[in-house]
Structure 1
Amino acid sequence: MRGVGTIIVQLLRFALYVGVHVLFVSKLVLFDLGWCFFYLGFLLFLPISTPIVLQLVLSFVLGWSIDIFYDTGGVHAAAAVLLGYLRPWVLRLLTPRDGYDASDSVNIHQMGWQWFTVYLSLLVVLHHAIFFLLELGSFRVLGLTLGKIVVSTLFTSLTLLIIQLLFFPTKRSKR
């Protein structure tokens, strides 16, 4: 029964992240330079033990769902799939000396500020770089694109950090 419960919880999380992004967060823009990609929280905060194939499928479905709402022709899907592909590599790169527990999740309270900041910053900047470069389609206005990447990375990272601090448990779950 635990497997079915986990699937239902993840489906609800998926709907919540997409719904909040589409209905509220997508309207927030900083000086026509910074956008918050709130929906990335779903992918970034998946359990560490999530299989890579499932991460890639979820990444595509998430990105495609956002593309449908904004008619962006697959740009969100491509960037989300890249994030889903790179996430296990970054987790491997940041593996603690004792390794991860089977029940570990991406949680600032369990992993610590330094680990979480590096994890979040690295994956968000890579996602935003590919997103804005694909959206632009060339290197003509590279300065503006780099500005969008930096400001959007800060905006998204700060938003997801606040979500972690407010809504994720401070104690390790006992299974």
Structure 2
Amino acid sequence: MSGLRDIIVQLFRFVIYAAVHVLLISRLVLFDLGWCFLYLGFLLFLPLRTPIVVQLLLSFAMGLTMDIFYDTGGLHAAAAVLLGFLRPWVLRLLTPRDGYDSGDTVNVHQMGWQWFTVYLLLLVVLHHTAFFVLELGSFRHFGTTLGKILVSALFTSVALLIIQLLFFPVRRGRN
């Protein structure tokens, strides 16, 4: 029964992240240079034990949902699938010496600030690089694109960190 419960929880999270992004966050723009891609939180905060095929399918579904609402022709889907593909590699790269526990989640309180910051910034910058380079279609305006990547990555990372601090539980000691 816990498997069905996990699926329902993830579907609820999918809808919440997509709805909040589409209805509220998409209107926020910093200096006409930075956008917040809050929907990435759904993909970044999936349980560690999520199989890669499921991650890729969820990444595609979330990206396609954003593409439908913003008429971006697959940009969000492509960048989100890249993020879903790279996430297990980054998790392997950042594996603690003792490994992950079966109950571990991507949680700043559980994994620590240093681990979480490296994980978040690395994946968000990779996603944003793919998204903005695909959006431009060339390297002609590389300075502007680099500015968009950096400001948007910082904006998105701070927003996702706030989400972590507000809505993810503090784990009281390890078993």
How do residues 79-118 of structure 1 correspond to structure 2 at under 5 angstroms? 79-118=79-118
The alignment covers a number of residue pairs equal to 175
SS in 1 for 2:152: helix
Q: How much does 1:171 deviate?
A: 1.1
Measured in 2, the distance between the counterparts of 1:63 and 1:45 equals 16
C-alpha RMSD of the superposition: 1.4
Measured in 2, the distance between the counterparts of 1:173 and 1:145 equals 43
Measured in 2, the distance between the counterparts of 1:41 and 1:172 equals 23
TM-score, normalised to structure 2, is 0.98
Q: What amino acid is the match of 2:171?
A: K
Residue of structure 1 equivalent to 2:145? 145
Moved over 4 A (4+): none
Measured in 2, the distance between the counterparts of 1:96 and 1:138 equals 38
Percent identity, please. 75
SS in 2 for 1:97: coil
How do residues 60-75 of structure 1 correspond to structure 2 at under 5 angstroms? 60-75=60-75
Measured in 2, the distance between the counterparts of 1:78 and 1:49 equals 23
TM-score, normalised to structure 1, is 0.98
Q: How much does 1:61 deviate?
A: 0.4
Range that drifts further, 164-173 or 111-120? 164-173
Judged with a 3 Å threshold, the aligned counterparts in structure 2 of structure 1 residues 6 and 145 are, in CA distance, closer, same or farther, namely same
Judged with a 3 Å threshold, the aligned counterparts in structure 2 of structure 1 residues 144 and 50 are, in CA distance, closer, same or farther, namely same
